[in-house]
C-alpha cells in the first residue's frame, strides 16, 4: 500500500501580506511548482491594472454582476477594499477540495480570517512581512500603480496588519525572494503531510496491526 492509493484532503492556504511585499510572485511560483495547488481567482469590481488579465489575475466584473453573484451566494467570502468589492468564488474552491487538491488565496487579512472561520481544519494562514515599511513604500512608489493617497492608506493598513502576526500559523520575511519561497514551499509540503489530512494512514496502520509477527 502506498500513500498514492488513498487520497489526502487538500488544504486552503491563505497567503496574506501588505501590497508590495512580493506576495503575488511567491504565490504564483508556488502554484507553478505544484500541479495539485490551484489559485483562487477572485472576482473584483476594480479596474484592471496595466498587465493584468481577465481570468488570470482576477475576474473583473461590474458592481451589478458582483451583487448578483452575492445574491446567489456564489462567494465563500467578500470584502470591500479601498472602495472596491472583492470575493472568492465558491464553486472552484469546493471543486478543488473535493478532488483532494489544495487552493491558495491571495487575499486580505479579513478574508483569510473569514475563510478560516468556515473551514478551520482545512485552513493554513501565512503572513509575509516586508523587511521594513520604508522598503515597502519604495516598492509601492517604484511600481507606480497607485496614487499617493492609496499608497499612504496601504502603509497605514500594513502597520495595523503586521501587529496581528500572532493570529497566523506561519510568518515569513521576504528580504530574500528565494529563501522566502523555500520557506513557503516547506510550509505547504509539511501541511500536506499532516496526519489529519492523510486518509491513507488509517488503513495502512490497520493492515500493519493485522500482520502476523
Ligand atoms: P489589489 O486591488 O491590490 O489587487 O488588492 C487589494 C487587496 O484585496 C489585497 O490585499 C488583496 O489581497 C485583497 N483581495 C483580493 N481578492 C480578494 C478576495 O477575494 N477577498 C478578499 N477578502 N480580499 C481580496
Chain-wide mean pLDDT for the chain? 91
Structure confidence by residue, pLDDT tens digits, 123-164: 999 999 998 888 888 888 888 788 889 888 888 888 888 999
78: enclosing H helix or E strand: strand 75-81
24: enclosing H helix or E strand: helix 23-33
Ligand 1 site, residue 40, Cβ cutoff 6 A:
no
Grid coordinates belonging to 188: 505547504
pTM: 0.86
Q: Which atom of ligand 1 is nearest to the CA of 82?
A: 6
Q: Domains plus CATH for the chain?
A: 12-206 (3.40.50.300)
Pocket residue to mutate for ligand 1, from 79, 146, 156, most atoms within 8 A of Cβ? 79
Amino acid at each position: 500500500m502506498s500513500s498514492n492509493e488513498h487520497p489526502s484532503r487538500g488544504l486552503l492556504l491563505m497567503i496574506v501580506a501588505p501590497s508590495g511585499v512580493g506576495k503575488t510572485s511567491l504565490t504564483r511560483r508556488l502554484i507553478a511548482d505544484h500541479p495539485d495547488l490551484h489559485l483562487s481567482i477572485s472576482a473584483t469590481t476594480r479596474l484592471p491594472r496595466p498587465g493584468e488579465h481577465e481570468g488570470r489575475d482576477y475576474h473583473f466584473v461590474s458592481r451589478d454582476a458582483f451583487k448578483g453573484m452575492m445574491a446567489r451566494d456564489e462567494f465563500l467570502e467578500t470584502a470591500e477594499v479601498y472602495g472596491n468589492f472583492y470575493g472568492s468564488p465558491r464553486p472552484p474552491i469546493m471543486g478543488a477540495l473535493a478532488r483532494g487538491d489544495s487552493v491558495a488565496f491571495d487575499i486580505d487579512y479579513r478574508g483569510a480570517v473569514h475563510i478560516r472561520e468556515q473551514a478551520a481544519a482545512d485552513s493554513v494562514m501565512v503572513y509575509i512581512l516586508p523587511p521594513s515599511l520604508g522598503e515597502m513604500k519604495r516598492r509601492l512608489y517604484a511600481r507606480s500603480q497607485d496614487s499617493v493617497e492609496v499608497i499612504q492608506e496601504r502603509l497605514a493598513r500594513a502597520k495595523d496588519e503586521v501587529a496581528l502576526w500572532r493570529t497566523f500559523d506561519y510568518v515569513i520575511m521576504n528580504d530574500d525572494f528565494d529563501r522566502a519561497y523555500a520557506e513557503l514551499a516547506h510550509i505547504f509540503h509539511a501541511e500536506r503531510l499532516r496526519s489529519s489530512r492523510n486518509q491513507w494512514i488509517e488503513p495502512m496502520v490497520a493492515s500493519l496491526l493485522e500482520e502476523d509477527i
